[in-house]
Amino acid sequence: MGDPRPPMVIFAGQSHPAIAEDIAGHVGVKLGDILVHNLTSTETEVKLQESIRGKEVYIIQSGSKKVNNDVFEMLTMVYACKTSSARKIVAVIPYLPYSKQCRMRRRACITSKLIAKMMCNAGINHLITMDLHQREIHGFFDCSVDNLRSSPFLLQYILDNITNYRECVMVAKNPSSTRRVSSYAERLRVNFAVIHGELKEEREIDGRTSPPPTPLIGGNSGILPVVTPATFACSFPTPIPPYQQKIKPSLSLVGSVKDKIAILLDDIIDDVEPWCLLAGFLKEQGALKVYAMATHGILSGNALQIINSSPSLDQVIITNTVPLSDGLALCPKIHVVDVSKMFAEAIRRIHNGESMSALFTNITQD
């Protein structure tokens, strides 16, 4: 009796060919033959160079600094496979672009939901990603989602490379990261601390507290009258109580890092200046060394130069979910952890119809 499983093919986009090669190597297959390029008009063109009719297709495409091009290239590749009669299309996106825009903030839209809808409409049947910014992103997709974790690899890095890791303290950048940080601390059997407050910045005035304008009065020369914040368009017998302004205090530390190695932990490290400032704050609190650890190292702008010149930040540990710049070799403080084996194992289990629960053993839902 023949193998009931459909044939497998793995395609790679242009965003992160290195991790695609590693994943395919761990799975034990060669990357499929596909032509993805940009025309002179900057339009994206995708041409399949082999038949995928009835096959199970895995498309590896991560987010990079050319995020909009990466997203549309992914959509085009998925749609090309859909119209070529692929039996199943699985998107492997180590870093999901726009994942930080998953909540309504001020007057911004929930862009990650838009990305999810476009991917599902393009034709994906399954999504494999790693360390989503918020777990509610699962609900944006109308298909199965496997949110893998980088914590086994990052924890192993700590065990292998920090000889006195028992003297470490896991530090949350803000109270919302406490559950993730406490999970790491519990598995390492170390203490954790939480940074409360924020760096003082000028308050942005976006007009959300402005009252409705008062109608113009005849002969007023077209100038709106001055309206106080307590004025409303409608009159009520009992006035609406005003919102009390939320003012965060200056930085304070809940816990102690004195004579310890402090490890700042988050899922994404993009703008490194706040990390360097927080590292300086922890050094002021008595930390011997300060490490920054994150899954997705976007490192925008002149991040490498800032990290190199920072006297407070001793080391930055990231994974290879995002393609790294060519100047990485010039920044010895950055250490990269390979997580391609996790994606390869996920692909193998999905293709063989095996349970994925083994990849989430002792892993929390946050």
pLDDT per residue as tens, the chain (366 positions) = 456 788 999 999 999 999 999 999 999 999 999 999 989 998 999 999 999 999 999 999 999 888 999 999 999 999 999 999 999 999 999 999 999 988 887 778 999 999 999 999 999 999 999 999 988 899 999 999 999 999 999 999 999 999 889 999 999 998 989 999 999 999 999 999 999 987 755 455 555 555 555 555 555 555 555 444 555 556 667 777 777 777 778 889 999 999 999 999 999 999 999 999 999 999 999 999 999 999 999 998 899 999 999 999 999 999 999 998 777 777 899 999 999 999 999 999 999 999 988 888 765 544
Backbone torsions φ then ψ of 123, nearest 5 degrees: 135, 10
Give the number of other Cβ atoms within 10 Å of residue 31's Cβ.
Answer: 17
Torsion angle of the four alpha carbons 7, 27, 130, 47, in this order, in degrees rounded to the nearest 10? -50
Tally the C-alpha atoms within 13 A of residue 48's C-alpha that lie toward its C-beta: 20
Kindly state the greatest CA–CA separation across the chain: 92
Overall pTM > 0.75: yes
Alpha-carbon span 67 to 84, nearest angstrom: 26
Residue with tokens 């499929």: 32
